C-alpha cells in the first residue's frame, strides 16, 4: 500500500514570525517553518502530527490537509480531515509489515490478527474495530465507554464556534456607532431610519463589508457544525449548538428602534412600530423609554416641544396645537361677518312662498323708464324694469337672499298676446353686465307658474319659486318683458308664436298689458364689512402669531360659502370677488391679491380640493 500527506497552504494568511523568537511560544500560530517540521514528523509520530494539523486547520483558514492511504485493509476513523481514502496498516517505523505477517501466519489466524491490529491502531485498544454497511466504528470495551467520542477534536470545534459567535457579536457594535449619529429630538420610524441609512455613504460601505464578512462567518460556522455532528454521532451526549443567524436589513431597522426606544435600566426590549410599545424581557416594563413626537406632514408635528419631546411644539399649516397634539384647524363661526341661514325651516318657507306671504317679502325699489306699475302700455316693444335694494346707501349692514319672484300681469280682453320674461340677477351691485341670467326651465331649474285671478280682465299671477335649493344672493333683479302672439297652427292642434313686429296683419288689435305689482321674496342677513376688512388687514399685519392663518381660514370659509350659492352651471360663479369689489369697495388689484393668498393657503391645507370659478365682476 501507499500513504501520503498533502498540505495546501495559503501563504497570504500565514503568521509572520520575527527571527529569533521561540517557535513553541504560540502553538496555534501557523508558520511555514512549523508546517515543514510537522510534515517531516508525520511518518515518525503520525497520530500526534495529524492531531496538531487538525487543530491548525480548524483554527485557521491558512491550510487544508489531505491524508491519502491506500492498501488492502479497512477504513480510517480519522474522518475529520477533508478527504481520506482507505488505510494502510503498518507501524510508523516500518518495523512491522502487516502484509508480511499475514503471509507468515496460518490462515485461521490471519483474520483474527487483522482484526486485532485494526482495533489496536484505530481504537487505541479501547474497543473492537467493526465495519458494517459502509460505516466503521469502535465497539467500546466496558472500561472505555466513550472510545468513539474524540473529545479533544469536539472541544476544538466548539471553541472555534465560540470564537465565530464572539466575532458575530462584535459586528453588531457597528450599528451602535451609527445610532449615536441619529437625531433624538423626534420619533424615527423605519422609513426615516432607512432614509438616514441611505444618506450615510460611509455606513453603507461598512455595512456591505460587514454583510460579506458575516456571510463568510456563517458558511464557516455551517462547515464546523457539520464536522462537529460527524464527530459526535456516536457520543452519548450530543453537542448543544447555537448557530448565528443571518440578519436582513429589516431586522437591523427594528433593532435600531429597539435600542433607541426600549433600552432603559440596562434592559433591551423589542419595539413594535404598529403599536408603539416595547416588549421587555421577562414581561417587565422597565425597558420602556420616552417616545418622541412624530414629525411629518398633515396631522403629525412640525417639531417637538423642546421641554417635552413627547408632545408637539408646532404644527403644519391647517392644524392647530391643542394639549400637545396637532388637530385640524376649523374656522370660527363666520356669522359675525356674514349670515347665510334663516330661522325658517324648509316646509315653513315652502308654505310661505306658496301663499306669497308678505312676511318673507324683501321690499325693493321699482325702477323703469319704459312703463309704470298699474298703467296700461303697448307691449309691442321690449320693456325693461328692475327691482333694486341700494344696500350700500340704505342697508350697508345687510346682504339679501332671493327665494322667489312674483308678478301680476293683466291683458285686455280677447288679447292674443303671451308675455315672455327674462330675468337677470345682480348679486352685490355694480353694472348690469355683472349680472347672471336665470336659466328658467333649464337643467331642472324651476319654471314660471301661472295662476289665473278671478278678475274681469285676463289677469295672471306669474310666480317663480327658487326655495332653499336654488336660493342665491341678490342686490338687483333685472326683468325684461317681451310679448309674442299665440296662434293656432295649420293642424289646429299646436300653437305657433309670432313676434308682434313680425305679425303679418298690422291692423289686428294686439291689445294692451299692465303689471299691477312685482314682489321679491327672500330674507336679509347680517353683514359686517368692517369686520371683514379687519380680517383682510391681518393678512399683512397679523395681530399675534397664528392670527394670519386664522384670518385666512375664515376668509376661505366665507369665500366657499358665498360661491356655493352661485347659480347652476358647469362652473361656479366667482360671487366672492363681487362681494369684495362692490360691498367692501376694494380695488381690482386688492381683490386679485386676496384671491391669490387664499388659493396658496388652500393648497397647503390637508384633504382640500380647489375649484375653478367663472369671473362675473370686473
What is the full DSSP assignment across 64-96? EEEEEEESSB---S-TTSS-B--B--B-TTS-S
Name which of 76-90, 162-176, 280-294, 455-469 the model is least confident about. Answer: 76-90
Tens digits of per-residue pLDDT, 206-223? 778 777 877 887 888 888
Is the per-residue pLDDT at 88 higher than 60? no
Is the per-residue pLDDT at 27 higher than 70? no
pLDDT confidence bin for 70, thresholds 50/70/90: low
pLDDT confidence bin for 69, thresholds 50/70/90: low
pLDDT confidence bin for 171, thresholds 50/70/90: low
Q: What mean pLDDT, rounded, does the chain reach?
A: 79
Q: What is the pLDDT of residue 373?
A: 92
Name which of 17-21, 102-106, 125-129, 402-406 the model is least confident about. Answer: 17-21
Looking at residue 386, what DSSP letter applies? E
* Dihedral, CA of residue 299, residue 301, residue 302 and residue 303, to nearest 10: 180
Q: What is the pLDDT of residue 1?
A: 45
Task: Give whichever of 131-135, 267-271, 354-358 has the largest mean pLDDT.
Answer: 267-271
Question: What is the spatial distance between Cα 608 and Cα 534, in angstroms, rounded to a whole number?
Answer: 25
Q: What is the pLDDT of residue 31?
A: 84
Question: What is the spatial distance between Cα 529 and Cα 398, in angstroms, rounded to a whole number?
Answer: 9
Q: What is the pLDDT of residue 52?
A: 87
Tens digits of per-residue pLDDT, 287-303? 888 888 988 887 888 88
Strand (E) or helix (H) holding 26:
none
Single out the residue of 434, 390, 392 nearest to residue 585, CA to CA: 392
Strand (E) or helix (H) holding 169:
helix 151-179
Tell me if 158 sits within 8 A of 227, measured CB to CB. no
Q: Which grid coordinates are listed for 327? A: 388637530
- 146 or 435: which leads in pLDDT: 435
Q: What is the pLDDT of residue 82?
A: 41
Strand (E) or helix (H) holding 356:
none
- Strand partners of residue 603: none
* Over residues 548-554, mean pLDDT: 84
Question: What is the spatial distance between Cα 185 and Cα 260, in angstroms, rounded to a whole number?
Answer: 12
* Over residues 256-275, mean pLDDT: 85
Is the per-residue pLDDT at 319 higher than 70? yes
pLDDT confidence bin for 282, thresholds 50/70/90: confident
Its sign, for the CA torsion 327, 333, 337, 338, is: positive
Q: What is the pLDDT of residue 81?
A: 40
Strand (E) or helix (H) holding 520:
strand 513-526
Q: What percent of the chain has pLDDT over 90?
A: 17
Task: Give whichever of 31-40, 54-63, 355-364, 368-377 has the largest mean pLDDT.
Answer: 368-377
Tens digits of per-residue pLDDT, 489-536? 566 555 555 555 455 455 555 778 899 999 999 988 899 999 999 989
Tell me if 177 sits within 8 A of 252, measured CB to CB. no
Its sign, for the CA torsion 201, 203, 206, 212, is: negative
Task: Give whichever of 86-90, 140-144, 312-316, 473-477 has the largest mean pLDDT.
Answer: 473-477
Q: What is the pLDDT of residue 418?
A: 83
Q: What is the pLDDT of residue 102?
A: 60
Q: What is the pLDDT of residue 425?
A: 95
Domains and CATH numbers, the chain: 3-15+28-69 (no CATH), 106-140 (no CATH), 151-304 (no CATH), 346-501+509-526 (2.60.120), 529-615 (no CATH)
Is the per-residue pLDDT at 461 higher than 80? yes
Q: Backbone dihedral region of 220: left (phi > 0), alpha (psi from -120 to 50 degrees) or beta?
A: alpha
Single out the residue of 417, 405, 306 nearest to residue 356, CA to CA: 405
Please give the angle made by the CA atoms of 421, 422 and 428, to the nearest 5 degrees.
130
Q: What is the pLDDT of residue 118?
A: 76
Is the per-residue pLDDT at 75 higher than 70? no
Is the per-residue pLDDT at 78 higher than 50? no
Q: What percent of the chain has pLDDT over 70?
A: 84
pLDDT confidence bin for 482, thresholds 50/70/90: confident
Is the per-residue pLDDT at 256 higher than 80? yes
Amino acid at each position: 500500500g501507499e500513504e501520503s500527506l498533502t498540505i495546501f497552504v495559503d501563504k497570504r494568511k500565514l503568521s509572520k514570525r520575527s527571527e529569533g523568537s521561540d517557535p513553541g511560544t504560540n502553538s496555534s500560530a501557523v508558520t511555514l517553518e512549523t508546517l515543514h517540521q510537522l510534515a517531516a514528523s508525520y511518518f515518525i509520530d503520525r497520530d500526534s502530527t495529524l492531531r496538531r494539523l487538525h487543530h491548525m486547520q480548524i483554527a485557521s483558514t491558512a491550510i487544508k490537509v489531505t491524508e491519502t492511504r491506500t492498501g488492502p485493509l479497512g477504513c480510517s476513523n480519522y474522518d475529520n480531515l477533508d478527504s481520506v481514502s482507505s488505510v494502510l496498516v503498518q507501524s510508523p517505523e516500518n518495523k512491522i509489515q502487516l502484509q508480511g505477517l499475514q503471509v507468515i501466519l496460518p490462515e485461521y489466524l490471519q483474520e483474527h490478527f487483522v482484526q486485532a491490529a485494526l482495533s489496536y491502531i484505530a481504537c487505541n485498544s479501547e474497543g473492537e474495530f467493526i465495519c458494517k454497511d459502509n460505516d466503521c466504528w469502535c465497539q467500546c470495551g466496558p472500561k472505555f465507554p466513550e472510545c468513539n467520542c474524540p473529545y479533544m477534536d469536539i472541544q476544538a470545534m466548539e471553541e472555534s464556534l465560540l470564537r465565530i459567535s464572539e466575532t458575530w457579536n462584535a459586528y453588531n457594535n457597528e450599528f451602535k456607532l451609527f445610532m449615536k449619529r441619529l437625531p433624538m429630538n423626534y420619533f424615527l420610524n423605519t422609513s426615516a431610519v432607512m432614509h438616514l441609512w441611505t444618506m450615510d455613504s460611509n455606513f453603507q460601505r461598512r455595512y456591505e463589508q460587514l454583510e460579506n464578512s458575516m456571510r463568510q462567518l456563517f458558511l464557516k460556522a455551517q462547515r464546523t457544525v457539520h464536522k462537529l455532528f460527524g464527530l459526535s454521532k456516536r457520543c452519548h451526549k450530543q453537542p448543544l449548538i447555537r448557530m448565528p443567524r443571518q440578519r436582513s436589513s429589516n431586522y437591523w431597522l427594528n433593532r435600531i428602534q429597539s435600542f433607541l426606544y426600549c433600552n432603559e435600566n440596562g434592559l433591551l426590549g423589542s419595539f413594535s412600530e404598529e403599536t408603539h410599545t416595547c416588549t421587555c424581557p421577562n414581561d417587565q416594563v422597565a425597558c420602556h423609554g420616552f417616545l418622541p413626537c412624530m414629525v411629518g406632514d398633515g396631522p403629525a408635528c412640525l417639531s417637538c416641544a423642546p421641554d417635552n419631546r413627547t408632545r408637539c411644539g408646532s404644527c403644519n399649516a391647517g392644524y392647530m396645537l391643542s394639549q400637545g397634539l396637532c388637530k385640524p384647524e376649523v374656522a370660527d363661526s363666520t356669522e359675525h361677518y356674514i349670515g347665510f341661514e334663516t330661522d325658517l325651516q324648509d316646509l315653513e318657507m315652502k308654505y310661505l312662498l306658496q301663499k306669497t306671504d308678505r312676511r318673507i317679502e324683501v321690499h325693493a325699489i321699482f325702477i323703469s323708464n319704459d312703463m309704470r306699475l298699474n298703467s296700461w302700455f303697448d307691449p309691442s316693444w321690449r320693456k325693461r324694469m328692475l327691482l333694486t335694494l341700494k344696500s350700500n346707501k340704505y342697508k350697508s349692514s345687510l346682504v339679501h337672499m332671493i327665494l322667489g319672484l312674483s308678478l301680476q300681469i293683466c291683458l285686455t280682453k280677447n288679447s292674443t298676446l303671451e308675455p315672455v320674461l327674462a330675468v337677470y340677477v345682480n348679486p352685490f351691485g355694480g353694472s348690469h353686465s355683472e349680472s347672471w341670467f336665470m336659466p328658467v326651465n333649464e337643467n331642472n331649474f324651476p319654471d314660471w307658474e301661472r295662476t289665473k285671478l278671478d278678475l274681469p280682465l285676463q289677469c295672471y299671477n306669474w310666480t317663480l319659486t327658487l326655495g332653499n335649493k336654488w336660493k342665491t344672493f341678490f342686490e338687483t333683479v333685472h326683468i325684461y318683458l317681451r310679448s309674442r302672439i299665440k296662434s293656432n297652427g295649420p293642424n289646429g292642434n299646436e300653437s305657433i308664436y309670432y313676434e308682434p313686429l313680425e305679425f303679418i296683419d298690422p291692423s289686428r288689435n294686439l291689445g294692451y298689458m299692465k303689471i299691477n305689482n312685482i314682489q321679491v321674496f327672500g330674507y336679509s342677513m347680517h353683514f359686517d364689512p368692517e369686520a371683514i376688512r379687519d380680517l383682510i388687514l391681518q393678512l399683512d399685519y397679523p395681530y399675534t402669531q397664528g392670527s394670519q392663518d386664522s384670518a385666512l381660514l375664515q376668509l376661505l370659509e366665507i369665500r366657499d360659502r358665498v360661491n356655493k350659492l352661485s347659480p347652476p352651471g358647469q362652473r361656479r360663479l366667482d360671487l366672492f370677488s363681487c362681494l369684495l369689489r362692490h360691498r367692501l369697495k376694494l380695488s381690482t388689484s386688492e381683490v386679485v391679491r386676496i384671491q391669490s393668498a387664499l388659493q396658496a393657503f388652500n393648497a397647503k391645507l390637508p384633504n382640500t380640493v380647489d375649484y375653478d370659478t367663472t369671473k362675473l365682476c370686473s
